[in-house]
Amino acid sequence: MKNATKTVELGVFLPVGNGGWITSTTSPQLPATYAYNREVALIAEDMGFDFALSMAKWRGYGGPSQHWDFTLESMTTMAGLAEATSRIGVWGTVHTMIFHPAIVAKMAAVLDQISNGRFGLNIVAGSNPADQGQMGLWRDLDHGGRYRLAREWVTVAKRLWTEDRVDHEGEFYKLTDCMSNPKPRRQPPIICAGASDSGFRFTIENCTGSFMLGSNRDDFIKTGRRAKELADEAGRPDFKTYGLFTIVPGATDREAQERVDYYNSGVDVVALDNQTREYSSDKSLAQNTMANRFIEQGNERHSMSKAAIIGSPETIADKLADIVLNADLDGITVIVPDFIDDLKTVGTQVVTALAERGVMTNAAAGARDIAHAYR
């Protein structure tokens, strides 16, 4: 697909958990602070990124690195970043098992005002039993039950965004003459990371986009194509797919690989074992695609996803463009070891190389001037 061209959105998955996204004692030990995430969001905005997304996590995995033992709450973090920024999209995450849809409907309306219409919502139908179970909020539903709850959750939230008064009596929620004002000026974009066919179908029917990752290049392409195929069947040509990519850049391929080798030398096997144990306790594990990806990482003792894209900016662009064009992705969401220097590399050198390979981003337009400013 060398002659293909595509314009995609570019986002950053903020490091709201300590240590970021690498489970290691030798990787950059990023702080789980608002100040650090504010700096990252402002850099991303300055470089032309389209959105910043934060995860929701309630329990860490311990070990020598104390991986994710300290995390910022997603919605309040994005409220702060909505005020601190002026252009970039600010996307928060909620677990449908934890937050009542009427609560989030109100929160989203306020975030819409703070951000001047830049707020987006990522919903999680599952996660792992220990994360929410520690608070007594885990619902022991099977795979289908989780998506029934999430479907009802979205239905209620959308009604509250558009109707003056809502009466609803369903399987999971009951609302009587429920009012929710103010309304957002528009319904926020909603994404979900369900990766099974049932997860994709739920997302296509109820959300604006799918958040996905793959275990390798071929799996990424297969997953992206399957999502588009199901969207076409459902008559949703506007449905978007966002790929999540761990990127480890270096001046050369060898330098980048040396970084990964160093991080793997300090892999926190205790934290990985705890992560594996928690996800393995899910009774619906066989159908939980995302959980199985985390378990696979733990079993293989990798400090990061084995699908990580590693190399020089040119090599990274080659691999990213291949996946984006062949999977027909609409967006790239970035994870990096160092969210200051590495993110600048992505927002200058990588996006420029991507544009040369037919993958266009808003960041690429000003990359030359930005690169000069960050020297």
User: Taking residues 179-201, what's their average pLDDT?
Assistant: 92
**Residue 198 pLDDT:** 84
pLDDT, averaged across the chain: 93
**Residue 147 pLDDT:** 93
What is the extent of the structural domain holding 174? 6-373
In this structure, is residue 104 part of a structural domain? yes
**Residue 1 pLDDT:** 44
- CA angle 257-262-265, nearest 5°? 125
Give the separation between CA 33 and CA 19, rounded to whole angstroms. 11
Q: Which residue has the tokens 């604006």?
A: 208
Number of domains in the chain: 1
**DSSP SS3 for 334:** strand
Give the separation between CA 176 and CA 105, rounded to whole angstroms. 16
Q: Tens digit of pLDDT for each residue in 195-223? A: 778 888 999 999 999 999 888 999 999 99
In this structure, is residue 22 part of a structural domain? yes
In this structure, is residue 268 part of a structural domain? yes
In this structure, is residue 128 part of a structural domain? yes
User: Taking residues 339-367, what's their average pLDDT?
Assistant: 93
User: Taking residues 334-361, what's their average pLDDT?
Assistant: 97
In this structure, is residue 119 part of a structural domain? yes
Q: What is the pTM of this model?
A: 0.93
In this structure, is residue 1 part of a structural domain? no
Q: Tens digit of pLDDT for each residue in 273-287? A: 999 888 888 777 656
Q: Tens digit of pLDDT for each residue in 16-55? A: 999 999 999 999 999 999 999 999 999 999 999 999 999 9
**DSSP class per residue in 33-80:** -HHHHHHHHHHHHHTT--EEE--------BTTTTBTSSB--HHHHHHH
In this structure, is residue 96 part of a structural domain? yes
In this structure, is residue 132 part of a structural domain? yes
Domain harbouring 134, CATH code: 3.20.20.30
279 and 294 in contact (C-beta within 8 Å)? yes
Question: Does 371 have pLDDT greater than 90?
Answer: no
Question: Does 366 have pLDDT greater than 70?
Answer: no
